[in-house]
Amino acid sequence: MWVDLIVIGVKLAFGLVVLLTTVPIMVWVERRGSALIQDRLGPNRVGPLGLFQPIVDVVKLLAKEVITPAGVRPLLYILAPAIAVIVALSTFIAIPIGKDSGLELFGHAVNGFIVAPDLNIGLLYVFAIASFGVYPLLLAGWSSDNKYALLGGVRASAQAISYEIAMIIAIVGVLMSSGTLRLQQIVDAQSGVWMGFLPHWNVFSQPIGALIFMVAVFAETNRLPFDLPEADAELVAGYHTEYSSIRFAAFYMSEYLHMTVAASLVTVLFLGGWNLPWIDIPFEGWAGALLSMGVFGIKVATLLWFFVWVRWTLPRFRYDQLMALGWKVMVPLAVLNFLWVGVAMALGYM
């Protein structure tokens, strides 16, 4: 029994370290990347190439005064940023970031690098938990007693509902082609080649579904050009206008946590996870597990850079454009992808 607890504790600690290490790295990448795109220097004073700037930012946020405006609803106001972080951490624990290579720890099967047990309803669990991501934004906006914050919270709820519908319909195609809700098996189903020469990744067999899912991910993580819940040009800072110090830091951190979870999910569902194109690597033992994690990590890192690149390249949509894109374009295209997968399976192409 104690061995089971130790293994679970090690895996949870590993997942926590991976996620919390990604946040300061992405803060630096965001700032340096935006500077690169805009032809300026970015942070370059604290440490070589400004690498220690995230540490300084953390100290600054922790040292700031925690201000609670009069008129807020205290319980919900305090819970909102905490829920935002908890949702991101809870979602990540079911995502396989490495292949199950028959590893053992103290004579106990580690089950690959899945922090939680390999759930047979893993995908259902991920989306069930991820759907709570809108609640902290809505609660923060409503409990802050601020009209700008309230508008941001309302926008967040409408945006999430609109794009989750298209996202779920796009996922149905993946479920049909793989025939399982288990995330590790979804990755395994993408090994080999498709049509004789393309990697058997869902991004090639279901390009419309992959595009819809990626656009919906931007909307779900509130990243530009879908950051309408914040919209600093219109709403000051939207749902977190009245937050400061460590509470604001929790929202700030949750954005990058959600980005990491979203990039990991895209990798699992559409980019073949740890599978490499045209190369069949036997992932066995610790070396194989670490190699599979490296492949997975490179794909996730590429997607995270794509998040940064899009943010500093595309302008923000108007709100009516955002809703029109979700309902009039994304949902019909998701249904088209669903039909394509059904026809392709019937004709034996999948």
Show me where the domains of the chain are located: 2-346
Mode of pairing for the β-strands spanning 193-194 and 108-109: unpaired
User: CA 11, CA 6: separation in Å to the nearest integer?
Assistant: 9
Q: What are phi and psi of 315, to 5 degrees?
A: -80, 165
Report the 10 Å Cβ neighbour count for 75.
10
The pair of three-digit structure tokens given for residue 177, joined into one six-digit string:
């082609």
User: CA 258, CA 255: separation in Å to the nearest integer?
Assistant: 5
At 49, the amino acid letter reads L
Q: What is the pLDDT of residues 197-253, one digit of tens each?
A: 888 899 999 999 999 999 999 988 888 888 888 877 777 777 888 888 888 888 889
User: CA 337, CA 207: separation in Å to the nearest integer?
Assistant: 8
Per-residue pLDDT of the chain (350 residues; tens, 9 = 90+): 666 677 777 777 887 888 888 999 999 999 999 999 999 988 888 888 888 988 898 888 888 888 888 888 889 999 999 999 999 888 888 888 887 766 666 666 666 556 556 678 888 888 888 888 888 888 998 898 888 888 888 888 888 888 889 999 999 999 998 888 888 889 988 988 888 788 889 999 999 999 999 999 998 888 888 888 887 777 777 788 888 888 888 888 988 999 999 999 999 999 988 888 877 777 677 777 788 888 999 999 999 999 999 999 988 888 888 889 989 999 999 999 989 988 888 887 76
**What is the predicted pLDDT for the residue at 58?**
86
**What is the predicted pLDDT for the residue at 292?**
85
Give the predicted TM-score (pTM) of the model.
0.91
Q: What are phi and psi of 27, to 5 degrees?
A: -60, -45
Q: At what angle do helices 245-270 and 207-220 cross, to 10 degrees?
A: 170
Element (H, E) at 105: strand 104-105
- In the three-class reduction of DSSP (H, G, I as helix; E, B as strand; rest coil), residue 243 is classed as coil
DSSP code string of 183-226: HHHHHHTT-SEETTTEE--HHHH-HHHHHHHHHHHHHHTT-TTS
**What is the predicted pLDDT for the residue at 112?**
56
Tell me the Cα Rg of the chain.
21
**What is the predicted pLDDT for the residue at 282?**
72
**What is the predicted pLDDT for the residue at 298?**
94
**What is the predicted pLDDT for the residue at 33?**
92
At 258, the amino acid letter reads H
Q: Are 225 and 315 a contacting pair, CB within 8 Å?
A: yes
**What is the predicted pLDDT for the residue at 116?**
58
Sign of CA dihedral 210, 212, 214, 217: negative
Is residue 166 exposed (0-12), middle (13-18) or buried (19+ Cβ within 10 Å)? buried
**What is the predicted pLDDT for the residue at 198?**
87
